[in-house]
Amino acid sequence: MRKRLSSSVAPPPSPIPTGRGSRSAVDSILGEYIDQSIHVPHLTLPKNTHRWVPDEIHYPSLLLRENDAMNRLLSSAAEFGVVRIIGHGISGEELRTMLTENEWLFRLSREKYANYDKFVWDWSDNTMVQKAKVAIGEQNFLFFRQQLEEVLKKLKGIAKEVDEIIRLSNSDESWKKIEAEEVKMYIYRCTKNQSSSMDQTWLPPHNATLEDSFKYALNLYLPLEPLEFSVHSKRGRLPFITSPDTIIVTIGHQLEEWSDGKFRSADGEVALKPNLHIDQALLSLELKWSFTNLNDDVYKTEKRITLSDQVLILVILILVYRMFLFMCTNN
């Protein structure tokens, strides 16, 4: 019986070779398993979903006084000092064509900088008007003037609407007394320095006219080409890409002071990109809009003496009078 059982037992399995050799079975099996099971995940960094861009407001919505549009305008102006306006009815393409066809305009400019020319649109300058008439003829000049003044009219209208929305958001009734205005319109023609392949900074709106930087309430900047615009405010430098037909409105120092800091002032600059701005002149318009009646009773709350203040003043006067009588009787 014992002999029969011993003969029916299966032989033991062959021993697995050890790893002492050049390659073992364990290495082969394990390597094949690892090759089939390991999958390196495709890792991608999350996109920056918090890139700052100022609010873009549809102008007809402001004209209709839609609450959402007004609230977004006030929020962006209060926090960053800037807002973008679209749908304003000014054709950037038509304006660019008009300025390109009349490049004589910049020959009249006396203000030339490293990489751009600035022309101040001022029809009270009779010398400039006469030079313009001679340059292109009186009829062409009148037509050109009419076109550009139509643009000026629209920009002034936008400034007034933004100003009214900001002022009416304040409970101070005295702000409604503001009526007089002063405007300056600048036309810029910027050319990239062809000898440089590096990014350049163009500082047209406020740094080029430093003497005016504290004298405006609103600044409207209309680029006629896509470009990078940077806002400098108390929140730091905030760059963003803007497109033609978009008006960038920044809050000026006047409005910041009149609102007691509720709305932040901001300055701006344009970055010139060699890969974007090649062999072309960058044209843009800027409107500085400010108040002229700077009386304190217009912009500041009229202080009224309340009844309790009057009683307190009367009590103080009585005490002072009695003290004076007491001192006189003792002497």
Per-residue pLDDT of 37-57, as tens digits, reads 666 566 565 555 455 778 889
Q: Give me the domains of the chain, ranges plus CATH numbers.
A: 56-299 (2.60.120.330)
pLDDT of residue 299: 44
> How many whole angstroms separate alpha carbon 28 and alpha carbon 43?
30
- pLDDT value at residue 68: 94
> What is the average pLDDT across 177-187?
75
Instruction: For residue 196, name the pLDDT band (cuts at 50, 70, 90).
Output: very low
306 vs 329, more confident: 329
The 10s digit of each residue's pLDDT in 269-321 is 777 665 454 456 778 888 989 877 544 444 444 444 556 677 788 888 888 87
Take residue 23 and report the two structure tokens written for it.
């390659």
The burial of 96, by beta-carbon neighbours within 10 Å (0-12 exposed, 13-18 middle, 19 or more buried), is given as: middle
> Edge to edge, what strands does the sheet with 200-202 contain?
200-202, 267-272, 227-233, 236-242
Alpha carbons 195 and 314: distance in angstroms, whole number: 77
| Mean predicted confidence (pLDDT) in 114-122 | 64
